Amino acid sequence: MSLNSNIPEGPVTEKWTNHKMNSKLINPANKRKYNIIVVGSGLAGASAAATLSELGYKIKCFCYQDSPRRAHSIAAQGGINAAKNYQNDGDSVQRLFYDTVKGGDFRSREANVHRLAEVSVNIIDQATAQGVPFAREYGGLLANRSFGGAQVSRTFYARGQTGQQLLLGAYQALEKEINNGGVEMFTRTEMVDLVVVDGHAKGIVVRDMRNGKIKSYAADTVILATGGYGNVFYLSTNAMGCNASAAVKAWKKGAYFANPCYTQIHPTCIPVSGDYQSKLTLMSESLRNDGRIWAPAKKEDAQAIREGKKTAADIPDEDRDYYLERKYPSFGNLAPRDISSRAAKEACDDGRGVSKTGLGVYLDFRDPIERLGEDAIRARYGNLFQMYEKIAGTNPYKEPMMIYPAVHYTMGGLWVDYNLQSNLTGLHVLGEANFSDHGANRLGASALMQGLADGYFVIPTTIANYLATQKPGSVTIDHPEFTEAEKAVSDSINKLMSIQGTKTVDHFHREMGLLTWDKCGMDRRKEGLEEAITKIKALREEFYNDVRIPGTAESINMELEKAMRVADFLEFAEMLYEDALDREESCGGHFRGEYQFTEDSPEVKSGKTQPGEALRDDDNFCYVSAWEYRGYNQTPALHKEVLEYENVKLAIRSYA
């Protein structure tokens, strides 16, 4: 199958305008005849469900949590970008577009990114009208701050709870539509399969997590807004329940999965402290507006700190290595995430880590507190400092925070065209679950922007291009595909329940996570990835022979829920490694140890970059990798969408 991205004709600045004009329309009286399934109720899912319902479509929305308000978008801290240029600091749609393409290390689709930058301004208007309490100046107008990879202040924020406030805005819009009768909401309900009829996605099979009942729902189109796959690493900043099952089910039914190797490791998380640990906590990138990141310049100082013989305060300024400021003077502590994470790893690999495990560096507020006073810092970051103190048990106003990179976001996702439609006709994918806008690395404060852009402004227009070709209600759950899918689901659940082995689900999840972090984390290499592929096959075998799930499938059973998700991750992980193996270059969140600039590189000698920076290969890898499922234990097949850059010149990404 060929991949047609359906990018509209014309200059990039006019594509979206033209596309809106050329998109099909469905008249208001006909809209209510169409049923749409939305899986997921985070920023993308809730905003899409609410907006499509406002337009008149009939929506069924599903989430695994007890309420749509719990979706993990709620945990986003720092902010949301928009090219409003309220600061008069030279921002524009064009600049946000450029920063995002460059931040993504030239591996995103230009047309999609430009559209994202265009609608970014509408999101802020929409959210403000809903009552989202963005930070304001004393004059009553909206405030901004800066995020990584940008030299302008375009990030809107609501203290350190921007995701919460934006999600509550979308959630309230969703509840309004539930009240109006346009949306039927299904909580504690997990999608367990996608139903494809004559090549079109026409429904889903779900498991009611309260009683284990398997049930089907048919619709005219299916929207997945189910987030990312960060939990394949076991430890991540994702919520415990975040999973890739909906995406994996779609992949197994024919939807291509794009660029899984682009995983974002966030530089500022609270370091791992023990093997009982269940998740990692992010400290917002916004802290890097004022906080300074450093490690001791001398290994012996770092060792003394690890042994508790010295503290940060004992290290004089000349013995501190503010490595981001040193290596990237123009962006300093606001260097992008992938670059900042690798720099932290480099310092720790060099024996200069400061936490007990050796895997930690400082994020220090001593200087801004001296300059601005403790109250000013409390006003900006109070809740984040409090969160840190609760978890780490030390006072960050007095001692620097200790941080280390952790898995945070996944740029890869189901392949979609310009209409956000999968190669699997009738399936639409929004938010983190798709792949198109962030390339190989997402800039801070761009996830909220993309989720809401897709849900509020893109899909309400583009979905009609598919629906207008469909007779409403043409497929019902009486179709044999639904019966078959339900039976397959019941069989797989029975199979899992009947294994009754000796190891817990968490055991397998943890093993997979360690393997993925070790071989497919911040530094990937050919041998390691090949070893991981062999090991994951064995682990999967062991899982199906030796996992133990207690209780019954006909009631609330958290072990079964986890087992079903882990089973999907075990298949997904292999594709992730395959993709990382195939991409013989370093770009953004995908760093292959074999491909980096060295002392001898001409670009280093001419001062364009530094040794250790990612070495991209535009001649051979300027494409989207879209993987096709070919069966259990089969290597997936690779399809390529070539990326064409007409507006941005491919260049070495420099933040120096």
Partner 1 sequence: MAKLNLTLKIWRQPSPDNDGWIETRKANGIPTEASFLEMLDIVNQEILEEGADPIHFDHDCREGICGMCSLTINGVPHSKEEGVTTCQVHMRKFNDGDTIWIEPFRANAFPVMKDLIVDRTSFDNIIAAGGYIDVRTGSAPDANSVPIPKDQADWAFDAATCIGCGACVASCKNSSAMLFVSAKASHLNTLPQGQPEKDKRVLAMVRQMDEEGFGNCTNQYECEAACPKLISADNISKLNRDFALASAKEAVATV
By beta-carbon proximity to partner 1, the closer residue of 68 and 589 is 68
Residue partners of 20: CB distance under 8 A and separation at least 6: 461
- Figure out which of the listed residues 1, 10, 66, 545 binds partner 1, where binding follows CB under 8 A: 66
By beta-carbon proximity to partner 1, the closer residue of 270 and 614 is 270
Could you tell me the smallest distance in angstroms from the CB atom of residue 49 to partner 1? 11
Could you tell me the smallest distance in angstroms from the CB atom of residue 342 to partner 1? 25
- Figure out which of the listed residues 28, 90, 140, 631 binds partner 1, where binding follows CB under 8 A: 140
Q: Is 268 in the site for partner 1 (CB under 8 A)?
A: no
DSSP string, 171-208: HHHHHHHHHHTSEEEE-SEEEEEEEEETTEEEEEEEEE
CA-CA distance, 291 to 257, in Å (whole number)? 38
Q: Is 171 in the site for partner 1 (CB under 8 A)?
A: yes
Binding mask 316-335 for partner 1 (x = CB under 8 A): --------------------
498 burial (CB, 10 Å; 0-12 / 13-18 / 19+) is exposed
What is the footprint of partner 1 within residues 223-242 (CB under 8 A)? 239-241
Find the angle CA(516)-CA(564)-CA(263) to the nearest 5 degrees: 30
Q: Is 72 in the site for partner 1 (CB under 8 A)?
A: yes
514 within 8 A of 234, measured Cβ to Cβ: yes
565 within 8 A of 245, measured Cβ to Cβ: yes
Q: Which of 207, 320, 337, 352 is catalytic?
A: 337
Could you tell me the smallest distance in angstroms from the CB atom of residue 436 to partner 1? 21
Q: Is 31 in the site for partner 1 (CB under 8 A)?
A: no
CA-CA distance, 521 to 458, in Å (whole number)? 33
* Of 28-36, 279-287, 469-477, 525-533: span binding partner 1 (CB under 8 A): 279-287
Could you tell me the smallest distance in angstroms from the CB atom of residue 466 to partner 1? 20
Q: Is 172 in the site for partner 1 (CB under 8 A)?
A: yes
Chain position carrying tokens 């906080």: 291
Could you tell me the smallest distance in angstroms from the CB atom of residue 41 to partner 1? 11
By beta-carbon proximity to partner 1, the closer residue of 180 and 330 is 180
Could you tell me the smallest distance in angstroms from the CB atom of residue 227 to partner 1? 12
Chain position carrying tokens 């999968």: 422
By beta-carbon proximity to partner 1, the closer residue of 261 and 392 is 392
Q: Is 89 in the site for partner 1 (CB under 8 A)?
A: no
| Alpha-carbon radius of gyration of the chain | 24
214 within 8 A of 486, measured Cβ to Cβ: yes
Residue 521 in 3-state DSSP?
coil
Q: Is 30 in the site for partner 1 (CB under 8 A)?
A: no
Q: Is 88 left (phi over 0), alpha (psi -120 to 50) or beta?
A: left
337 catalytic? Reply is yes
Q: What are phi and psi of 216, to 5 degrees?
A: -110, 150
What is the footprint of partner 1 within residues 616-655 (CB under 8 A)? none
* Of 288-296, 410-418, 429-437, 543-551: span binding partner 1 (CB under 8 A): 543-551
CA-CA distance, 454 to 223, in Å (whole number)? 11
Tell which residue, 563, 438, 460, has the closest CA to residue 506.
563
Residue 413 in 3-state DSSP?
strand
174 within 8 A of 50, measured Cβ to Cβ: yes
What is the footprint of partner 1 within residues 424-453 (CB under 8 A)? none
* Of 48-56, 419-427, 524-532, 615-623: span binding partner 1 (CB under 8 A): 48-56
Q: Is 394 in the site for partner 1 (CB under 8 A)?
A: no
Q: Is 131 in the site for partner 1 (CB under 8 A)?
A: yes
Q: Is 291 in the site for partner 1 (CB under 8 A)?
A: no
Q: Is 44 in the site for partner 1 (CB under 8 A)?
A: no
Q: Is 457 in the site for partner 1 (CB under 8 A)?
A: yes
CA-CA distance, 421 to 28, in Å (whole number)? 22
Q: Which residues are catalytic?
A: 337
